[in-house]
Structure 1
């Protein structure tokens, strides 16, 4: 976990002390030492779960030195250079001691500090010895303070040299219990819950909130270690994460409401939500790079051809993402996805650097991280599935909530939850629950599980489409409707499911209704889901018949909508306009100058490309009247020439095609009627 200390960031159990500058005045150095000492002594009133003996001894010695330093300040004593040098060494030691106390009392880090007890005890011993060394060379006779205070300082110096700051036996006992529990998880034995509770009681983790804090801290630590490429600590961190996740879900019967709802609101526009322009949807799970040649394997997962070939040549016969055994090594080109990648991410100005970190964070969870973590998550998944089937209403609600937490950004946990059979009872809660909290937790959990290949399959095979559509149409909370739309988006990533969803008479109309009445995020999720469904050609007519075009155009006309939502809406309109029916619908609802205006004002390169695509498609499909209207737009030609020189290869190509149509029309219009000004094979006239 990164903590803020002043203006810098510091990792736990790292001690970046700064040496005072050479020209520092004695008075400034003394004031800083007093401040550090007071800050350290303030930890007498703070809870420290472990290292209690070492903490008490250190606080006692620093407290005596604080009296000494305050006495020097009160007397206004001039300090000789030799004293300043000693105080500079004390200043470094005091900084590190303060860091150590901050870490030992850090919320969420109790279990981690316990497991690092040997290291922490060594740090206490080394730092107190450093204080003793500085005091040994301190010229006390040159400092004007009372003799009794000098005697106290000498006593501290002697005690610091002899202090046996060692590992507390109680800490060692608790640490060994944790190791025993982890070994039991690793060997697929569920530990005695009384033994687990003894560890939690020792660390004074006595509520769901405190346990959740430990899980969050460990998850952050794993992410940071992964980001820095440090694999040394990851197995232990993963084991502890699995252990505390098990405790949170299986040992604490009640939870504090409102904790995760504030930070993990699935229906809000955060990193969990969807966008047609999310580069993570187009990265290879193996290489983490944008796929240039996406192929689909027998499990239905898609990878870049070069990456999956390398994986198979290494002798691996399982799907890297799901862990399922591959029935064959055939790789089917995913032309639809390739088209999307070319259309959306060909140099459209989206930064991939920021998204790279997040993608690493999720791909690191394809496996459990350690055998102990795998055992803990599997036991917890089975426990939660049992609660979802046979628990009381409140227990089912909490179990759905725990599934939602466990499946968040963790691929291995999703696979365990699906395998344990959590999907069917979660689907049952959607239609049977009249409690908004239960329905919200259930649909949020299903959204997380729908991101896993096995989760999609389990939802469809257990008849989950109808209850999810029920939430989409009549959810007890508007947020639930937009989460249902997000779930439809993920289900639509499977070609067969696009066809299946499209055939449901209520599916596409419900998404269009959400575009009309939903919040900004509801609109965004519905637009994304419709785009996914349009990858099946048979759904084009259904989307048009549901009245999607007027609602999408309304989004373009509303000045309050965010640029991302406008760009996503343009992407759907561009796809619809590829067919004659779609072009006709677009032309009948919206004047073409609207797209010219967006082309002129949009800061999104992708948005500009979609506008050109729409204009080109309408001109090709809707006849000379459409071309005649565009030819009268004086600002269009400069915009198109700008795209030819500065746009992506795709937008440049389309801009050139549109320029040619307009030029041909202009040249022919002086000698022919507008209806015949453009070659008729380009058009299907609007009747």
Structure 2
């Protein structure tokens, strides 16, 4: 079989997935399930051309899945964000191939094994690979900026800076070391691309943005992480108080699930839900009547916390 099928790629990167984590972990879940029964499939496969081809197709699709997860673990965060549609397309193609090959194999193996294969194929066919809205939005913002083709310049451009700030906060490129790692990831992709590859120009532009605004991002994050440093007091053990913005205005405790309400204020989900469940229709801080009681996750603040 080794002569006909590609060697299985070792998957070591799922713990460090940079972008599209939810989608990659969902894909990995099925790779793990298939891997558990793969030895049984190899032992039970019929000695026929169609059986060997189906198993080869299955293994190749599994390798592609692992390489996709590895790509989302090693690649540039900015590049991953702007290529979201392509990542989704690759994931869906892998999904389809796995379902087809599993469905073919289940007709060639003993009943009990066929039942296990059928269950995996059914679950895989109906699964959805979730995107993280904040990452998807960042990708769109960066793509819009790219299409505006703002001339290269050493002077700060507000549109560029705002887009880079949003991307940095969402993708956690918020320290000098993170900026350096991102630069290296972009350069690695750039060096591997051929001269005729369209992405080479895009990677060069992303590197330009980081080189231009990387220091500003670092200063912004340092300020954000240590805001009110002069105003906060350390306790007896020298532990500084968290920034006020990290605390729920109701309990003054650091938030775990910050939610934005219609007034624009952010609260811990448990406490603002309790406020509304008690019949209140006003903001606990402004005391103004709210137009609605909708809550939206403050994903950027949660990542900062």
TM range (shorter): 0.5 to 0.7
Q: Which of the residues 129, 134, 142 maps onto 2:96?
A: 129
Q: Note if contact 1:135-1:157 (Cα within 8 Å) is conserved in structure 2.
A: yes
> Residue 57 and residue 70 in structure 1: after superposition, are their counterparts in 2 closer, same or farther (change >3 A)?
same
Q: Distance in 1 between matches of 2:163 and 2:53?
A: 51
Structure 1 residues 196 and 142, CA gap change in structure 2 (3 angstroms): closer
Correspondence for 1:230 among 178, 184, 196: 196
Alignment partners' CA distance in 1, 2:150 and 2:161: 16
Cα distance per residue 1:566-608 (max 9 Å; x no partner): xxxxxxxxxxxxxxxxxxxxxxxxxxxxxxxxxxxxxxxxxxx
Structure with more of its chain in helix, by fraction: 1
- Partners of 2:18 and 2:128 lie apart in 1 by 20
Number of residue-to-residue matches in the alignment: 215
2:120 is the alignment partner of 1:156: yes
- Alpha-carbon distance change, 220 to 56 in structure 1, aligned in 2, over 3 angstroms: closer
Q: Which residues of structure 2 form unaligned runs of 5+?
A: 221-305
CA pair 115-202 structure 1, distance change in 2 beyond 3 A: same
- Give 1:167 deviation, angstroms: 5.4
What is the CA-CA distance between 1:140 and the residue it aligns to?
A: 4.4
Is residue 143 of structure 1 aligned with residue 107 of structure 2? no
Please point out which of 8, 17, 35 is paired with 1:48.
17
Say if 1:90 and 1:50 are closer, same or farther in 2 by CA, change over 3 A: same
1:566-645 correspondence runs (5 A): none
Alpha-carbon spacing, 1:20–1:126, altered in 2? closer, same or farther (3 Å): farther
Q: Distance in 2 between matches of 1:142 and 1:184?
A: 56
Please state if 1:87 is matched with 2:51.
no
What SS does structure 2 have at the residue aligned with 1:155?
Answer: helix
Residue-by-residue CA offset, 1:4-44 (whole Å, 9 max, x unaligned): xxxxxxxxxxxxxxx9534x8xxxx9xx55xx4xx34x544
Say if 2:69 is the partner of 1:101. yes
Following superposition, the deviation at residue 134 of structure 1 comes to 0.5
Match of residue 281 from structure 2? none
Contact 2:103 2:117 in 1 (8 A): no
1:476-487 matched pairs, under 5 angstroms: none
Q: d(CA) in 2 for partners of 1:78 and 1:178?
A: 48
Residue of structure 2 in register with 1:58 after alignment = 27
- Compared with structure 1, are the counterparts of its residues 231 and 59 closer, same or farther at alpha carbon in structure 2 (3 Å cutoff)? closer
Report the counterpart of residue 209 of structure 1 in structure 2: 177
Per-residue CA deviations over 1:495-515 (Å, capped at 9, x if unaligned) read xxxxxxxxxxxxxxxxxxxxx
Q: Secondary structure at the match of 1:252?
A: helix
User: What does 1:251-262 correspond to in 2, within 5 Å?
Assistant: 251-253=217-219
Q: TM-score, normalised by structure 1?
A: 0.28
C-alpha contact (below 8 Å) 1:20/1:88 kept by paired residues: no
* Deviation for aligned residue 1:203: 1.5
* Aligned-residue offset at 1:249: 2.5
Alignment of 1:299-318 (within 5 A): none
Q: Give yes or no for the alignment of 1:173 onto 2:141.
A: no
Partner of 1:243: 209
Q: Which has the larger radius of gyration?
A: 1
Paired position in structure 1 for 2:3:
21
Change in CA separation of 1:138 and 1:71 when aligned onto 2, cut-off 3 Å: closer
Provide the secondary structure at the position in 1 that maps to 2:182: helix
Report deviation, 1:95: 1.8
Q: Is the 8 A contact 1:211 1:247 kept in 2?
A: no
TM-score (norm 2): 0.59
Distance 1:87 1:186, change over 3 A: same
Q: Residue 132 of structure 1 contacts residue 157 of structure 1 at CA under 8 Å; is this kept in 2?
A: yes
- What residue ranges of structure 1 are gaps of 5+ in the alignment? 1-18, 255-687
What secondary structure, in the 3-state scheme, does the structure 2 residue paired with 1:119 have? helix
- RMSD over aligned Cα atoms: 3.3
Report the equivalent of 2:285: none
Q: Deviations over 1:261-301 (max 9, x none)?
A: xxxxxxxxxxxxxxxxxxxxxxxxxxxxxxxxxxxxxxxxx
CA shift, 1:208, in A, is 1.2
- 1:183–1:83 CA distance, 2 compared to 1 (3 A): closer
Q: Which has the higher contact order (CA 8 A, sep 6+)?
A: 2
Distance 1:139 1:182, change over 3 A: closer
Alpha-carbon spacing, 1:129–1:166, altered in 2? closer, same or farther (3 Å): farther
Alpha-carbon displacement from aligned partner over 1:281-323 (angstroms, at most 9, x marks no partner): xxxxxxxxxxxxxxxxxxxxxxxxxxxxxxxxxxxxxxxxxxx
Displacement of 1:239: 1.9
Q: Deviation digits for residues 88-119 of structure 1, max 9, x if unmatched?
A: 1112112211211111100x521111111111
Match of 1:190 among 139, 155, 158: 158
| SS of aligned partner of 1:142 | coil
Q: Secondary structure at the match of 1:21?
A: coil
